[in-house]
Chain A
């Protein structure tokens, strides 16, 4: 599994979201994801581009800021490897 997939899965778990929740919220940030895209990016079936990763990371980070701001997901340039 790529560093991007692992980070996004961790963010999804922290948000207590299902993939459909991330798909819906990401519509408000950007990109052209289908629900299938989101599932494939999460389970590593497809590798995210840097922009795709950053859109999904930003979507989750906005959600964390909406909550208590206690979590932050790494953007592409900050991922290990």
Chain B
């Protein structure tokens, strides 16, 4: 196959490693590859849920979120329908009357005359919508539509993989933090056991009583005990 912008972009997508950056950086790469792959598209953006609200999280041009705001404000638009109903939506001319009036007006005011929105679906679950905007009327033909659908399918997988990668990354980071806290608590318990001649459960009980009494986190109480022991151990050297 010749190296068309589409095949180059898909090849680039297949080499994609989401661990290279943040989710936002990963998605920005996806939309940049899309605008290169589908010739009539002048702008591309992705609608997704961020902090409980729909927004255009990434885009190739700042016009995209400006236009999309009309549909977020009105609660009606082709991207929202593509996202919610998991179907392709299209406007062949934003200057003509039809559904999503507020969005049509905002798009036309920004020089966008036709649009196509692709649902991003992974395992029957909608994760977003990819929106392709053109400055020409009826810009997207059957081939463009088919290419955009194929690209959106790839992008959805990248999105899902990125989310899974970062979920796993976040979990491993939190587990590492937990293990660090646990180590401090174990050290403090050991010191109390040695100093007081008590068993492990009694040492833990002393820690929680101190935490309650002082209204300080247990791990901070433990840290104090460890720090104090280290300070005491170093003092003879400092004085010599």
Residues on A close to B: CB < 8 A?
24-25, 27-30, 50-51, 54-55, 57-58, 61-62, 65-66, 69, 72, 75
Contact = CB atoms under 8 A, between A and B. Distances in A.
B211 A29 contact: no
Given A29-B185, A54-B204, A61-B211, A24 B218 contact: no
Contacts, number: 53
Given A28-B182, A30-B185, A58 B211 contact: yes
Chain B at the A interface: mostly helix, strand, loop or mixed?
Answer: helix
B158 to A, nearest CB: 26
B201 A61 contact: no
Interface of B: 171, 174-175, 177-182, 185-186, 201, 204-205, 207-208, 211-212, 215-219
Given A29-B182, A61-B211, A75-B212, 12 more contacts: A24-B178, A28-B178, A29-B181, A29-B185, A29-B218, A29-B219, A58-B208, A62-B211, A62-B219, A65-B217, A66-B217, A69-B215
B193 to A, nearest CB: 13
Contacts of A24: 171, 174-175, 178
Contact of B175 (A27, A50, A55, A61): A27
